[in-house]
Structure 1
Amino acid sequence: MRIFLLSAALAISLFLPGCARRSFQSQTLVPAALATHRTVAILPFTVGLERLQDVVIRGPEPWTDSVRRPLALTHGPNRQRWGERRQLGYQLQAELQAALMRQQVTHPITVAFQNPADTNQRLARAGITYESLPSHSMAELRAALGVDVVLLGQTDMRQLLPGSASIALFVLTDSNLMAANGVRTALDLYDTQTGQLVWRFDHELAGRPSTSPVALANALVRHMWRGFPYVAKP
């Protein structure tokens, strides 16, 4: 019976679309501060990552609400996947910058973004590592980077099984693992002079979303652009 269900699930999966549901929301918190900004540094993202083998070992990790900080999963899978999470953090930093630069070709913005390589070199010279970033104050980041505002990104990726394998696992285990697949991202703009959170953006993809840093960065810029505070008014 299990073999029959598995075969049926695999067959059905061939006809299901590989799409993802999405939701997003931006919020401007301090408009007066945003109007004074001229330079922005994008920091390496904080990344939470959960894969199928993590769930098999200890069950699914509960996610926090997408409008709360921090988002990142903090238990076993993060410690086990530290190198991969770190690499994704730097990739998302670079790809978000690239997506913003492509967008501003046709939609000018009022600020200049510091090159990520320059940002990372400045952090290194100041003795600020990827691991220690969350412990540093906005004043320390301002001194190291010389910018008016920093963009902090946090992404949680839950990749259980792609496509047919996920459906088969759903049938065989009677669990809702496929529905738990998703990517949640929070982007926060902090004024480095005052330390205030001045703008935030929450983004979620659920179902079978791509977790490619390029695809995610493009989706973030596309969905946040209407509410992005630095878009020049015509």
Structure 2
Amino acid sequence: MKKFLLLSFVLFSFYAKAQKQTFESPNLKEAVSKQKLVAIIPFDAKITYKKQPKNFSAEANRDQEKTLSKSIQSSLYTFLLRKRDDYRVQIQDVDKTNILLKKAGIVDKLDEMTKDELAKILGVDAVLGGKYEVEQTKSEAGAIASTIIMGGFGGKTGTGTLTLTLNDGATGDLLWRFFKTLDDNITTSSDDLVEHMMRKVSRNFPYSK
């Protein structure tokens, strides 16, 4: 019985660690103390299917990924704006961020740019971004992005991972990273998704007062 309990504890600890991981650079505190303005860039959103729907359209799926990317970006901005008294930095308006990215012709080329290059274009001290990857497990359920954006989904419909990263604007170095595995019971809109994530990082978010 003792061996069973010990094994259960080890497996539980491993599972919990796999579900949530945080990285902090040794230079984090020094770097963020000098930062005043942060930009949130569109998230890298990826939608896949365990079993591809019969009427699957690659083009429509890409469009939904782009919409989801901007939706999470906007939700994160709204959250940080609403909690601005809790943080020591200002967040650049995401509309301004996206306009500057569009003017620079790199809206669809963010993965080809270094974070310090992006910070220079955006005129900010740091870049906050991330990745959201989700696998739809119900092939008959339509695209998961539409469901999230329109107000959420219930039951066991998909599994996903959410990553939030903070890069220094001057050097491009990764200062902080938060990774979370989302189980397939989560019921959420993009606002709820961000709320869920930020509750998990609230204690060690780099800009918390």
Paired residue type of 1:115: D
Distance 1:211 1:146 in 2: 33
Corresponding residue for 2:94? 116
Q: Percent identity?
A: 28
Corresponding residue for 1:134? 111
Distance 1:56 1:179 in 2: 20
Q: Which residues of structure 2 form unaligned runs of 5+?
A: 1-15, 140-154
Residue of 40, 46, 49 corresponding to 1:48? 46
Q: CA deviation at 1:23?
A: 3.5
Distance 1:78 1:228 in 2: 36
Distance 2:188 2:61 in 1: 15
TM norm structure 1: 0.67
Q: 1:139 to 1:27 in 2, by over 3 A?
A: closer
Residue of 164, 173, 177 corresponding to 1:200? 177
Larger RCO, structure (CA 8 Å, separation 6 or more): 1
Q: Which residues of structure 1 form unaligned runs of 5+?
A: 1-20, 58-75, 163-177
Q: CA deviation at 1:52?
A: 5.3
Q: 1:179 to 1:42 in 2, by over 3 A?
A: same
Q: CA deviation at 1:46?
A: 0.5
Q: Secondary structure at the match of 2:167?
A: strand
Paired residue type of 1:195: G
Corresponding residue for 2:143? none
Match runs of 1:35-184 below 5 Å: 35-51=33-49, 53-54=51-52, 81-105=61-85, 108-129=86-107, 131-161=108-138, 181-184=158-161
Q: Secondary structure at the match of 2:48?
A: strand
Distance 2:198 2:116 in 1: 27
Report how many residues are paired.
176
Distance 1:78 1:23 in 2: 30
Give yes or no for contact 1:50–1:78 (8 Å, CA) kept in 2. Answer: no
Q: CA deviation at 1:133?
A: 0.9
TM norm structure 2: 0.75
Q: 1:123 to 1:85 in 2, by over 3 A?
A: same
Q: 1:77 to 1:202 in 2, by over 3 A?
A: farther
Q: CA deviation at 1:141?
A: 1.1
Q: Secondary structure at the match of 1:41?
A: strand
Q: 1:52 to 1:124 in 2, by over 3 A?
A: same
Q: CA deviation at 1:53?
A: 4.3
Q: CA deviation at 1:138?
A: 2.7
Paired residue type of 1:33: A
Distance 2:53 2:20 in 1: 27
Distance 2:73 2:114 in 1: 20
Corresponding residue for 1:4? none
Give yes or no for contact 2:168–2:175 (8 Å, CA) kept in 1. Answer: yes
Give yes or no for contact 2:165–2:177 (8 Å, CA) kept in 1. Answer: yes
Q: Secondary structure at the match of 2:183?
A: strand
Residue of 23, 41, 63 corresponding to 1:27? 23
Structure exhibiting the larger radius of gyration computed from Cα positions: 1
CA RMSD of aligned residues (A): 2.7
